[in-house]
């Protein structure tokens, strides 16, 4: 099977009091993110992955719990494809629920030292 680079997308969820939601994998903390599926727009993939990884339902144009998404940066992921980084301002604090993909998920008011280096300067 050919090793194809796949775009990824994620969301920085911001709350003025609580900070940002981060997910812990085995090595570092990062935003909820994942692969963009075939035929899927990056913004929709970011919303889907956020729901899968945190149980927080985000939609591109905003809702009663969060404002609309904004693309803040496009970087390269570990395979050389695009990594779309969106952000949104939460209108209410929502407790994230950890998925089986991560060791932990929670709000951070101060960033941990072992954060994904691609996020430095964005959070």
Tell me the DSSP string of 31-64. Answer: -SEEEPPTT--HHHHHHHHHHHHH-----TT--S
- pLDDT tens-digit series, residues 53-84: 999 999 999 999 999 999 999 999 888 899 99
- pLDDT of 123: 85
Judge whether residue 50 has pLDDT over 60: yes
Q: Of 118, 63, 116, whose CA–CA distance to 88 is shortest?
A: 63
Q: What is the second-level CATH architecture of the domain 8-96? A: Alpha-Beta Complex (3.90)
Tens-place pLDDT, residues 4-29: 889 999 999 999 999 999 999 888 99
């Amino acid at each position: 099977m050919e090793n194809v680079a796949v775009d990824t997308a994620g969301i920085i969820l911001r709350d003025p009091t609580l900070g940002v939601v981060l997910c812990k994998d085995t090595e570092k903390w990062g935003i909820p993110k994942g692969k963009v599926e075939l035929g899927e727009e990056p913004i929709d993939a970011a919303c889907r992955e956020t729901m899968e990884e945190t149980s927080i339902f985000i939609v591109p144009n905003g809702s009663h719990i969060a404002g609309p998404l904004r693309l803040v940066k496009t970087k390269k992921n570990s395979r050389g494809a695009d990594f779309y980084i969106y952000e949104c301002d939460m209108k209410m604090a929502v407790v994230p629920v950890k998925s089986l993909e991560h060791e932990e998920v929670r709000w951070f008011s101060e960033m941990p030292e072992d954060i994904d280096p691609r996020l430095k300067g964005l959070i």
